[in-house]
């Protein structure tokens, strides 16, 4: 069995990282303006504010731990490989909790918070400390051009060719902890259906696209994901 899993902020919610949108109106984008903090225009206008926002998120990430849902997906990757199957794990999350739980192949379509990118020479390097306008690029020596290696609104997500290739080759598409509001990831379920691929949603509550999924499992990811992984590995 070849399974394609797309994860979103909901899988890291129980690790304390917060989601972007929720029905109670307490998500990150209800408290912070994404147009000011997650666009190239916002960064050009006020780089200090953008750096401060991501510096706080980076510190929170370094203090967080993976939860049972992340560990279960690492078990699924290993278990499918033993059965001559394959897991493609694509995440919209910029955290590294899948990797810390043991997942080996993670595609970060929205980038990675623990990396910086130089806007002058495009080099990407590991970055665990605060980032500021005073930092110098190790590769080109320029100062003031480093930014978080994350995809902002209006920018192209990463690895899309690889992602669409893996989606087309899969037997099952599973969306975990995502509201399905940000494209192109929000379009993967329709793409899967058009290709005749079975679809499953695992989320705290039905997303706006819930009707597009053949199977739905609702509840906290730390409970629903391990239970689903156990079912998948039992099926062989």
Binding site for ligand OAD (CB under 6 A): 8-10, 13-14, 19-22, 27, 38, 92, 110, 151, 153, 177-179, 181-182, 203-205, 207, 220-221
Compute the distance between CA of residue 105 and CA of residue 89 in angstroms, rounded to an integer.
7
Q: Kindly list the distances between the CA atom of residue 202 and the CA atoms of 63, 106, 111, 134, 217, in Å, as whole numbers in the listed order.
A: 26, 19, 23, 43, 5
8 vs 42 by CB, closer to ligand OAD: 8
138 vs 205 by CB, closer to ligand OAD: 205
- 198 touches 172 (CB < 8 A): yes
Q: What is the number of the residue whose Cβ is closest to ligand OAD?
A: 10
* Catalytic-residue membership of 145: no
Which helix H or strand E contains 230, and what residues bound it? Answer: helix 221-235
The minimum distance between CB 19 and ligand OAD, in angstroms, equals 3
The minimum distance between CB 198 and ligand OAD, in angstroms, equals 20
The minimum distance between CB 146 and ligand OAD, in angstroms, equals 19
143 vs 181 by CB, closer to ligand OAD: 181
Catalytic residue from among 51, 70, 98, 110? 110
First to last CA, the chain: 8
The minimum distance between CB 220 and ligand OAD, in angstroms, equals 4
Compute the distance between CA of residue 143 and CA of residue 8 in angstroms, rounded to an integer.
33
- 123 touches 136 (CB < 8 A): no
- Give me the sign of the Cα torsion angle 12, 15, 17, 21: positive
78 vs 182 by CB, closer to ligand OAD: 182
Just list the catalytic residues.
Answer: 110
């Amino acid at each position: 069995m070849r399974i394609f899993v797309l994860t979103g902020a909901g899988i890291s919610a129980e690790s304390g990282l917060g989601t972007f949108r929720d029905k109670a109106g307490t998500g990150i984008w209800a408290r912070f303006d994404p147009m000011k903090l997650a666009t190239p225009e916002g960064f050009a206008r006020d780089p200090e504010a953008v750096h401060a926002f991501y510096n706080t998120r980076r510190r929170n990430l370094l203090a967080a731990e993976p939860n049972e849902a992340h560990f279960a997906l690492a078990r699924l990757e290993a278990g499918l490989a033993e059965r001559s199957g394959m897991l493609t794990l694509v995440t919209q999350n910029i955290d590294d909790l899948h990797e810390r739980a043991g997942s080996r192949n993670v595609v970060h379509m929205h980038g990675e918070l623990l990396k910086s990118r130089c806007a002058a020479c495009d080099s990407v390097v590991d970055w665990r400390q605060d980032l500021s306008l005073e930092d110098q690029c190790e590769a080109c020596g320029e100062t003031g051009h480093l930014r978080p290696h994350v995809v902002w609104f209006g920018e192209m997500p990463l690895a899309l060719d690889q992602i669409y290739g893996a989606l087309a080759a899969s037997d099952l598409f599973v969306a975990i902890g995502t509201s399905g509001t940000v494209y192109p990831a929000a379009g993967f379920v329709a793409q899967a259906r058009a290709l005749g691929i079975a679809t499953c949603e695992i989320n705290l509550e039905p997303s706006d696209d819930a009707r597009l999924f053949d199977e739905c499992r609702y509840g906290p990811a730390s409970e629903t994901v391990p239970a689903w992984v156990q079912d998948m590995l039992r099926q062989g």
